[in-house]
Amino acid sequence: MADAALLIAVLARELEGSTHVAVGALSPIPGAAALVARELSGGATRVSVLGSRRFNPFTDGGRELFDCAGQGRIDAFFLGGGEIDGAANVNLVGVGGYPQSRHRFPGSFGSAFLYFAVPRVILFREAHSPRVLVPRVSFVSAPGTSPPGVWRRGGPRALVTGRCVFDFDREAGRFALRSLHPGETLEGVIAATGFAFDIPERVPETPPPSAAERALIAGAAGARIGETYPRFARAVLGIGVASGQGEGPQ
């Protein structure tokens, strides 16, 4: 599985050209990626990280985030799921018959609304196995595609996992493999993926973090995400957190 620095760099590249990136709670890797993108843009990319004191303009949690997205003022968002299928449907409710699910996930919250309202949605799940990437989700919390005539500003652009990167073709309604992370094989990814996906004739390796990306991950961006996720910054990125920071989610 890929290390955190590679995943942060991959996700940051997906945000190039974004004007306002929103990151949900309990999302240290996407949060770090958004802050890397902010630094690389020279501050042109605005970042809102729920749970952060410094990078969270919202005072009442999700309500203001949803209003902002509905007004078209957020153009990139990260979304994960307990299950994700080949049509980019996301399950955040649970596995098994609803409502008596055998295993419960955190809940849908505003995932369906944001999936429709935000133009660029990047799916991210570090775990990559047939239990996570399934043929069909047990419950559709947020649909990856919509019928003709249904208004939708947004939708999935890519799926980044700990093994590879997929692009999502909205017209075809399916994923295509973009790259394999270092050390991964096509056979291994096929075996670990529960849904079918398109495969190019040549599958490149995911580019490693550049010198500039590594410097930001180990420096300014890493230290700033440490304000919200101090344990992640220390244990995963090897960055100390100043005293008085880090009262947010760990």
Query: How far are the Cα atoms of 5, 71, 116, 160 from residue 122, in angstroms, in the given order?
Result: 17, 20, 13, 8
Any idea which architecture 4-235 has in CATH? 3-Layer(aba) Sandwich (3.40)
**Per residue in 151-205, pLDDT tens?**
999 889 999 999 999 999 999 999 999 999 999 999 999 999 999 999 999 999 9
The continuous run of DSSP H or E covering 50 comes out as: none
Q: What is the mean pLDDT of residues 81-100?
A: 87
- Whole-angstrom Cα distance, residue 121 to residue 107? 18
Q: Could you say which DSSP state residue 210 is in? A: P
Q: Where are the domains of the chain?
A: 4-235
The pTM (predicted TM-score) of the whole model is 0.92
Percent residues over pLDDT 70 in the chain:
93
> Tokens for 189?
């990814």
pLDDT tens digits for 108-156? 778 999 999 999 999 999 999 999 999 999 999 999 999 989 999 988 9
